[in-house]
Structure 1
Amino acid sequence: MARQFSLAYLTVLGCPPPEMTYIAAQAGYDYVSLRPIYMGLPGEPNYALNENKELMRQTKTALAETGVKLHDIELARIHDGVDVKKYLPAMEMAAELGGCAVLSSIWTPDRKFYIEKFAELCDLAKPFGLTVDLEFVPIASVFDLKGAIDVLRTVQRENAGLMVDTHHFHRSRDKIEELEAVPRGWFHFAHLCDAPAEIPASKEEMTRILREARLYVGEGGIDVAGILGRLPEVPYSIELPHVARVKEFGYAEHARRCLQSAKDYFAAHSREQNF
């Protein structure tokens, strides 16, 4: 079975869903990973497809014309005071477009609250046939593999999953061997990128690299092959924001380089890691 790749929203940050879909098709991706949940960040466009019928129509057309499929949507954040029912329209839209998963992360230290809300999010997603995949982020409240496993073991929802981002895994100082004890059924997809091996001392520098300066796979110092070699075969969503390269190359060429570097890396490491 051929390896499958998705173009993640942050890789082409600010690109509208229809254009993103055509770019993905041109570059050779199988899927797109969209952000139809508006997060209200400074300068961020609102691509809430459930609120914009014309944008939804254009996105449907792009998916139909290219054959690219929607893989997952983001980002269903669990934060203080959140009402996860607000994510229902986006999940309904994802199901309508044939999506598989909802990406989530946790940004409140209140364990009782986030366990309750993550479980509720899973229950809301289940009728749409969607998994809810928890991403641990080194600058968030649930920041490492141990914390994410605690959530999944506590909620015990069939459609709950664990989403490993190679950048975040390395920055959270997790041990690659720990992945071997994780239930295989929890893995539905993974985020793929690279970064310098040295872990930034400050949260500010960690955040800067995370949001705007990740590297092409094989260009940095993360043991990407070691991480992925402990996962089952899943689609790889390339989440590789790099502001300077997008400015230099444009969305389409940056997306192409992301995919080509990933394929080259897999080809170079396939034997040693049993890919």
Structure 2
Amino acid sequence: MPTATGRLLGVAQLSLLSAAPPRLVQLAADAGFDFVGVRVRPVTAAEVPFDVQPGSPMLVETLSRMADTGVGVRDIEFLLLDGTDQRDAWMRMFEAGQALGAESLTVACGDPDLARARDTLAQMAEDGQPYGISPGLEAISYQSVRSIPVADEIAVHAGCDLVVDTLHVGRFGATAAELSAAASRAPMVQLCDAPAERPATRDALVAESRSARLAPGEGGLDLLGVVAALEAGLATTPRAGTQLPVSLEVPNDEAVARLGEAGWLEHLHSCALRLLDQQATRAPSADPDAATAATPSETTAAARTR
């Protein structure tokens, strides 16, 4: 169910990578979510691939669960742009996404040649138009594109969207002004929490991102600050007044083992409701440039005073 203010809540596949799309849809519905994201292409060799290509039995079952529950699919994932020719891969992803009714395909940039990455993403955006799907470039703290301004510049060049993830925003340190400036290209925000202190190595950043995030409100990141900065940036756009949909992307292997799949999604939903319903009563900052989206040093300092 939406929040008290009507904000739509979803859950990303990475929050429960063990659940195939039909089961993810059912579990999301049971926990009260409005939509899901679906991983239509595995990221690592260890992942079980989910075949939701047109004509597959899993697609048929997923669509049936969606019809029964009213839970939709807003986004699909995940493609890491690496500088090679990946067009066949993203065209198959567009086919699966269109069949599911998705609007966005999440990508990240591991290509060190950012000029080439811009052109690749522009081609991808053009290819996605007949399918009604836009690539969404996510700035990731341990990849080549790891800041909101760089991701935004590439997105403008390519004519695509941005994916804003609160974990990575906190880890690379984005300001409220940067988030507001890019807000018109963010169709939703991915929400999770994490300890205030930034992991010290790239390997530790990767491990945290993939399997050790925290439920909203259980860490030290300024999640409401990120949401507020994005929505403040919509004030001068046609989307003024929009409450951005929120997708919970919170992989945590230990918590899933302890609570079970259904229990974990129920916990995420209740934590998100509790946090986001504070947004209506949170006073806006008089100076959005003065706030930051939880840079490691500032968040750690703030944590010591609490």
Alignment of 1:82-231 (within 5 A): 82-155=85-158, 157=159, 160-182=160-182, 184-231=183-230
Identity %: 27
Offset of residue 84 of structure 1: 2.3
In 2, the alpha carbon distance for the partners of 1:38 and 1:78 equals 14
Q: Which stretch shifts more, 241-250 or 128-137?
A: 128-137
Offset of residue 98 of structure 1: 1.5
Residue 19 (structure 2) pairs with residue 15 (structure 1): yes
Could you tell me which amino acid in structure 2 is paired with residue 161 of structure 1?
Answer: D
Could you tell me which amino acid in structure 1 is paired with residue 33 of structure 2?
Answer: Y
In 2, the alpha carbon distance for the partners of 1:81 and 1:91 equals 18
Residue 36 (structure 2) pairs with residue 37 (structure 1): no
Offset of residue 130 of structure 1: 1.4
2:251 is aligned, of 230, 236, 241, to 241
Task: Provide the aligned length of Structure 1 versus Structure 2.
Answer: 269
**TM, length-normalised to structure 1:** 0.93
In 1, the alpha carbon distance for the partners of 2:83 and 2:153 equals 19
**Does the CA contact (< 8 Å) of 1:192 and 1:217 recur in 2?**
yes
SS at match of 1:94: helix
In 2, the alpha carbon distance for the partners of 1:21 and 1:104 equals 22
In 2, the alpha carbon distance for the partners of 1:46 and 1:52 equals 16
Could you tell me which amino acid in structure 1 is paired with residue 22 of structure 2?
Answer: P
**Any gaps of 5 or more consecutive residues in structure 1?**
none
Q: Which stretch shifts more, 91-100 or 223-232?
A: 91-100
Offset of residue 259 of structure 1: 1.1
**Does the CA contact (< 8 Å) of 1:226 and 1:273 recur in 2?**
no
**Does the CA contact (< 8 Å) of 1:75 and 1:103 recur in 2?**
yes
Q: Which stretch shifts more, 188-197 or 81-90?
A: 81-90
In 1, the alpha carbon distance for the partners of 2:32 and 2:180 equals 31
- Where has structure 1 moved over 6 Å in runs of 4 or more? none
Could you tell me which amino acid in structure 2 is paired with residue 256 of structure 1?
Answer: E
In 2, the alpha carbon distance for the partners of 1:250 and 1:52 equals 31
In 1, the alpha carbon distance for the partners of 2:122 and 2:29 equals 35
**TM, length-normalised to structure 2:** 0.84
**Does the CA contact (< 8 Å) of 2:25 and 2:62 recur in 1?**
yes
Offset of residue 52 of structure 1: 6.9
Residue 290 (structure 2) pairs with residue 256 (structure 1): no
**Any gaps of 5 or more consecutive residues in structure 2?**
232-242, 285-306
1:68 is aligned, of 68, 71, 92, to 71
Task: Mark the CA change 1:52 to 1:37 in structure 2 (over 3 Å): closer, same or farther.
Answer: farther
In 2, the alpha carbon distance for the partners of 1:63 and 1:191 equals 21
In 2, the alpha carbon distance for the partners of 1:56 and 1:4 equals 24
In 1, the alpha carbon distance for the partners of 2:88 and 2:180 equals 34
For residues 191-242 of structure 1, the C-alpha deviation after alignment (integer angstroms, 9 at most, x for no partner) is 0000011111111211111111111111111000111001232211100000
